[in-house]
Structure 1
């Protein structure tokens, strides 16, 4: 096997199934001079499970200290091999690593990647949705206001969108997605990918919201299918008229705006503001 190069190596680690570890990951862990790990204990446990003895120095490199580690790791990488690993999957993909890679480019320090598992392409491949083009948005925003704004940005997004979510927030996120994107938009919720209890549930947003309302566990990756291209453009006055008709029938204004916006793939906020302006 080719000796490890000097510089920085980004190495993907298994999502859950230890057999997904590549020979190059094993070599990197065994031969690196320094290992920058998101969680040093989990990295040592991984090495033990792989039967690999770590001869290099293991350094913590996680969200709250990675910026402070940059100068030290760049210094080491000029003359030695620094391997960057995270808890599961590919570094930088919603995991630590970006500040170091950016600094390495600026400093002229060699960087390479030992590719391997990542939840994003796994979920995309398993989704059974139209994913010829897709976007990855990392973790969905935690706060409801920011999350709703993010979901509104997907109303007319024709690419599929992949994102991570916490088991504690997935039900709320999908309930808001039903309200904003409509109940019939298709999606997939994948949990515990490559692990013993792997589950990939495909359905409409309404179906998935009902399923997650009872609570689910594990690490979750979601894919929402892109919006279908509109064949006819609905003018704003017609949308306002539809909202007013629903309000006249007894619906609250915000609910009526959400219903019409989801049906025609427009921003609920912009429609709501337009209705208010029309009443002045």
Structure 2
């Protein structure tokens, strides 16, 4: 590792492959990009601002690649962690952020830190800027895959609860299901758009050295497979959601039918008792034969209605 002041001297050495990692694109970093590394002004602008959509910018002597990685937040929210790469003729610049204040800054450095450890241990020896960029982007692809694994673990637990007959609080349980689906949808979007970014680079064959083209094609394949994995798990989860909703709706329908039967059975009894309760009918004392007659009529009416409801298949 070298200080920022050594960047210009290192860049002057034709045998040096330079990697500049910028945790946050401050004004000092922007000056380094502009004056020392001769980055395009639009590339510097994109590095300083938050980019919500991955993209690629092709310039004369460099390419800007903007990708995103996931980080789970509260209530199922997924933070988009931006990672910008400027790939030049003899250097790679990685810029992180800007970040949501709720995200730990260390999260943004997880991919570049992993690559740095491989460089320090000697397990990675890139010979070209694209080889270094490939290592960084492959690490990001593994982060996306790990995110899918984490969400899938939750999906399996939710599926076990559904097939086990769990109902619980439908509102809370559906919230858990939809949070898991949102996570898969977010990582699917990151993988799919990232594949489109590298697909654009792969289409410009004249701007990429012949030895580096297989690396670009492999990144496209990795990110495309991330999208396919997320789609598969999302479809599986959607089946779990539909199963749970169908069960909940069936229970509600059965409950509504039973309530309808109760209402039908009690309606004539209520009507008859209301008539006898009117003030226009006044009795000084209970007439037992008349009471028995009214109760018998009520019982007959209820029996007939229950029989009719049974024939209709209501219960």
Q: Which has the higher helix share?
A: 2
- TM-score between the two structures when normalised by the length of structure 2: 0.24
Larger relative contact order, structure 1 or 2 (CA cutoff 8 Å, min sep 6): 1
- TM-score between the two structures when normalised by the length of structure 1: 0.26
Larger Rg: 2
